[in-house]
Structure 1
Amino acid sequence: MTDLEFMDRAEKLLLAVEQGCDRLNEDTDADLDAQRSGGMVTLTFRNHSQIVINLQKPLHEVWMAARAGGFHYRFDGAQWMDTKGAGEFFAHLSRYASEQAGLPLAFSA
C-alpha cells in the first residue's frame, strides 16, 4: 500500500468514527465528545475516560488506546485488522466504547 492509499483509507476510518459519534449522540444517551486534531480523534465519555485513535503513517497503521489497552491495526485489503490477530477495528471500538460508556454502542465502517 502506498502512503497515499493508506491516508485515503485511514481518513475514511477517522470520518466513520466521527460520524458514528454523531449518530450515537442522536440515538442514545452516550454523550460522546469527539475531537479531531490532524490524524487523531479523541473520544471523551461522560465519565471523563477517553479512547484515542491516531494514524501512524510511517507504519501504515491505525492505533487505538482505550482503558482495555493499546491496539494496532493494519488494512488487510478489506478491513482494519489487529496486528496480533485479535480482531477488527470497529468491533473493538464498539466493545471498548460500550465498556467505557456503560451502555451498548455500535460503530461501523
Structure 2
Amino acid sequence: MMDEARYNQLASAAFRRIMAAADAIDPDILEAESTGDMVTLTARSREKCIVNTQRAVRQIWVAGRGQGIHFDYDASTSTWKDDKGRGLELFSFVADVVHDISGVDFSYAG
C-alpha cells in the first residue's frame, strides 16, 4: 500500500483536476463544491456525482449512476482504476456520470 503522503498528493491532484473541469461549466448547469475530502457535482436536476477520499484504504470513491465505485491508484499506468477490474478509470467515469446527469461534456485540460 502506498504511504499516506503520496496518497494525499495524488488524491489532491485528482480533486483539483475534477474541480478545474467543473469550473469550466456554467454553474447553472453543473454546480461544483469542494469540502476537504469530498467533491460534490450537482446537476440542474439535483442529481449528484460525489467523489470522496477513502483514506484508510488509499482509494477514491465515486457515487453516481446509482452505484459506488472504488478506485485504486495504479502506479504502472499513473491512473486511478476501479478495484473490481471492470476497466473503469476515475476521470472517465466521473465524466460519464456528469454527462448522464447534466447532458454536458466534462472535459479535462491537459
TM-score between the two structures when normalised by the length of structure 2: 0.87
Identity %: 25
User: Is 1:72 the equivalent of 2:54?
Assistant: no
Residue type of the partner of 1:7? N
Separation in structure 1 between the aligned mates of residue 109 and residue 54 of structure 2, nearest angstrom: 21
Separation in structure 2 between the aligned mates of residue 101 and residue 30 of structure 1, nearest angstrom: 10
Q: State the partner residue of 1:105.
A: 106
Shift of 1:32: 1.1
Task: Name the SS of the counterpart of 1:70 in structure 2.
Answer: strand
Residue type of the partner of 1:49? E
Retained in 2: the 8 A contact 1:91–1:107? no
Separation in structure 2 between the aligned mates of residue 71 and residue 93 of structure 1, nearest angstrom: 10
| Further displaced range: 84-93 or 5-14 | 84-93
Query: Where do 4+ consecutive residues of structure 1 move more than 2 Å?
Result: 102-109
Task: Name the SS of the counterpart of 2:25 in structure 1.
Answer: helix
Retained in 2: the 8 A contact 1:36–1:42? yes
Q: How many residues align?
A: 106
Specify every segment of 5 or more residues in structure 2 that has no aligned partner in the other structure, as ranges: none
Residue type of the partner of 1:83? D
Q: Once superposed, what is the RMSD of the aligned Cα atoms?
A: 1.8
Q: State the partner residue of 2:16.
A: 15
Retained in 1: the 8 A contact 2:22–2:106? no
Task: Name the SS of the counterpart of 2:19 in structure 1.
Answer: helix
Matches within 5 A, 1:20-31: 20-25=21-26, 31=29
